[in-house]
Chains A and B, each alone.
Chain A
Amino acid sequence: MALNRRIAYVDLSAGSVEVRDVPLELRRKYLGGRGMDAYLLYNHVEPGTDPLGPDNALVLSAGLLSGTPAPAGARCQISAKSPLTGLLGSANMGGFFGPELRYAGFDHIVIQGRAEKPVYLWVHNGSVEIRDADHLWGGDAVQTQTRLREELGDPDVKVACIGVAGENQVRFACVRTGIKNAAGRTGMGAVMGSKNLKAVAVRGTLPIRLADPEGALGYLEELVDYIQSSKYAEIMGKWGTLFIFDVTNSTGLIRTRNFQSNQMPHSEDLECEAMDRYTMGMAACFGCTMHCRHKYVLPEGRFRGQYGEGPEYTSQGAFGTEVGAASMLGVLEANQLVNLHGLDTLEVGSMIGWAMELHEKGLLPAELVGDLDLRWGNLDAVIRLIDDIAHRRGLGDVLAEGPKGAIERLGPETAYYNIHVKGMSNLHSDERPTPSLALNIATSTRGADHLRSRPAIDLYHLPPKVLERIYGKPGLSDDYRVYEGKPWMVVWQERLYALVDALGVCKFQSVFLSPNMPKAEEYARVLRLVTGLEFTPEELMEIGERVTTLERLFNLREGATRADDDLPERYFTEPTPEGLPAVRGKCIDRDRFEAMLDEYYDLHGWDREGRPTPETLARLGLDAEPTRLV
């Protein structure tokens, strides 16, 4: 059945593995994936733990629907205390690793301690072995997967691994699987590196029994038809997330040259159609009919002849607008390199864009810059810096510390120019004209982030009646420029995304970029047919709330306060210079922002310092945490 996957505790210091069952009570409260990650992290990481020390726990969790025919049931979550922010570390990954983990008999792996020498985990049909990885150390994040498949003699082995960036504990190193999938954010690759853990290889042939196979097939056929009938599914299947660039840049909702403009002129070579020259078709993650990933072979340039996948909208920004360049080939080359090194593409681009602006303003010491030509648009410097960050050389070594650490090294006068929240860089988006999106990045549990509570459809000017149908509240404004009503939209999205991440299905197949995608109603039905667990849609949204609140508790326990739910100073002081008249000349108003934050806390049942009240904790069943039920 779908609920019999187990949890493995691995202690790399002791070289021991212990396998336990997951109590049903925890499934009902947290489902799996990000939900169980939050529980396991809160229960197994003591406050004040050094993120790169042996006591930090790295938690890998497949979603509860991962590996089943639920639409896009591809995802898994990787969590730890973050070496980037010192708060919650948590990153979601597609591809094929999560499903394979479940076929191997596990839902969760909790890794603590530190191996004396490089090791990898071999997870196979109910067993977990710690194996020597000396020979794999130094390998890139694609080569490592190939070598492990050869070594284990099975081309269907799936691998999550780090590249050299993780080995060097770059604070925004990611965990990689496949050609481009990544648990990108908050530095989970650095935590792996700190544990001397090069990879986790999984392979399994254990069936996941469905509660109602026939009913599931019937309903899922309907659901796939519903998803694929959306125009958005067609666009994603053709362009992937690259299409978003065309929308946001033409509006003026993009961040360029770090934070100096919100629109990039002469950017045809970054637009989604520029990918036509390179794409050889689309690839999909596990069980996904949407297939949003380009396959390409680089026809020229530094990596001529190399096969790659992607890029995402994030890379168009990271190696396009952020650094003032407009070349799809440049984006693809940088995308290739970050994927091989195992770096968070978004954090890399933001750090380099910041360095370029600091250089422009004369705030970078000459000896650190050396012979690097940090002028806007210089992709040679971008490529070299990516390499230097991964290998921790010169300026790259400073940038490898992430926003907080690098500001500490370069001086407080550089802080103003870094666009981060809680120590994590923001997407290359500009939220000054959009209060709802601004509140989203200020309050996300893992720092500036667009994937935890973004009400992206707020930009669509949907009629209030439609908004009411989606968000379950009357009177929501159809104008993205106003502050009123936005906290509820952020809270609602927060719950939905936490739910989706706990289920292990893809956000792109929920209400994120299109209003016509599955919500809790549809997932309640899928859950019942697949697992036999009965939930009302309201109960599922409450699980989302519980997960977010527990993540909040983790951050509060590490010392976070209301002051951390803030925006970069520039959001309040510099009006947007470009874009459509509707978005030009906009700043976030401090008083109205604080009022939104108050309302956001109120909606949660938190006090005005952002601390959940005892009543709220009791209502969500969190008043006894940590309970250490497993």
Chain B
Amino acid sequence: MKILAVDEKRCTGCRLCELVCSVRHEGAADPARARIQIVKWEEEGVYLPMACRQCEDAPCAAVCPVNAIGRDPELGRVTTDHDLCIGCRACVSACPFGVLGFHEDRGKTFRCDLCHGDPTCVKFCETRALRYEEGDRVVAGRRRAAAARFRQAVAE
């Protein structure tokens, strides 16, 4: 199963991901309604892209009073049935990562839908801080990098 993987060390804070996400989903340059947003500690030069983590046991689904939130097993994503959604924002409150948005104009929530398996943000992320890849591959790179450091230390 592929996931949207974030390597925050590679993020340059340009926010192009927010832009292209909002253009894709809203038809507008609209970072406030982007499904992915970069949280910044500007004074320290630290940037961290945040988007729905598509939880296996999703708190948003658990609190939904009308069972509008389900799982799409094929793409491994959490989905909202907007015909059922009553716009109560219980899911927005319950999300431990704060990555669900609420569209005031429409009275509905929004979240990352992985662009149905072809995330636009990933296509535009030049530094590859964002990748869309098999979940078990995501940490393999980090494991190898750590192993390389360990190997170096042992050699010294």
Residues on A lying within 8 angstroms of B by beta carbon are 67-69, 96, 103, 142, 146, 155, 178-179, 204-205, 207-210, 213, 216-217, 220-221, 224, 228, 237, 280-289, 291, 295, 307, 309
Contact = CB atoms under 8 A, between A and B. Distances in A.
Contact of B29 (A96, A208, A295): A208
Interface string B113-130: 000000010011011000
Given A142-B43, A295-B45, A228 B28 contact: no
B30 interface: yes
A204 B33 CA distance: 12
A286 B45 CA distance: 14
Nearest to B105: A207
B48 interface: no
A283 B28 contact: no
Contacts of A204: 32
Nearest to B40: A155
Nearest to B126: A289
B63 interface: no
20 contacts: A69-B20, A103-B32, A205-B32, A205-B33, A207-B26, A208-B29, A213-B28, A217-B24, A224-B124, A224-B126, A283-B47, A284-B13, A284-B14, A285-B14, A287-B14, A287-B19, A289-B14, A289-B126, A291-B12, A295-B45
- Give the interface residue-count category, chain B: 20 to 34
B126 A228 contact: yes
A213 B14 contact: no
A207 B28 contact: yes
Contacts of A69: 16, 19-20, 23, 29, 124
B19 A68 contact: yes
A221 B42 contact: no
B108 interface: no
B31 interface: yes
A282 B22 contact: no
B12 A210 contact: no
Interface of B: 9, 12-16, 19-20, 22-24, 26-33, 40, 42-45, 47, 120, 123-124, 126-127
Contacts of B30: 205, 207-208
Nearest to A233: B126
Contacts of B45: 179, 280-281, 283, 295, 307, 309
A32 to B, nearest CB: 14
A280 B11 CA distance: 12
A209 B27 contact: yes
A179 B23 contact: no
Nearest to A212: B27
A179 B29 contact: no
Contact of A179 (B12, B43, B47): B43
Given A210-B23, A213-B23, 19 more contacts: A69-B19, A103-B31, A155-B40, A178-B42, A205-B30, A205-B32, A205-B33, A207-B28, A207-B32, A209-B27, A209-B28, A220-B20, A220-B124, A280-B45, A282-B12, A283-B12, A284-B13, A291-B12, A309-B45
B14 A286 contact: yes
Contacts of B44: 307
A292 to B, nearest CB: 10
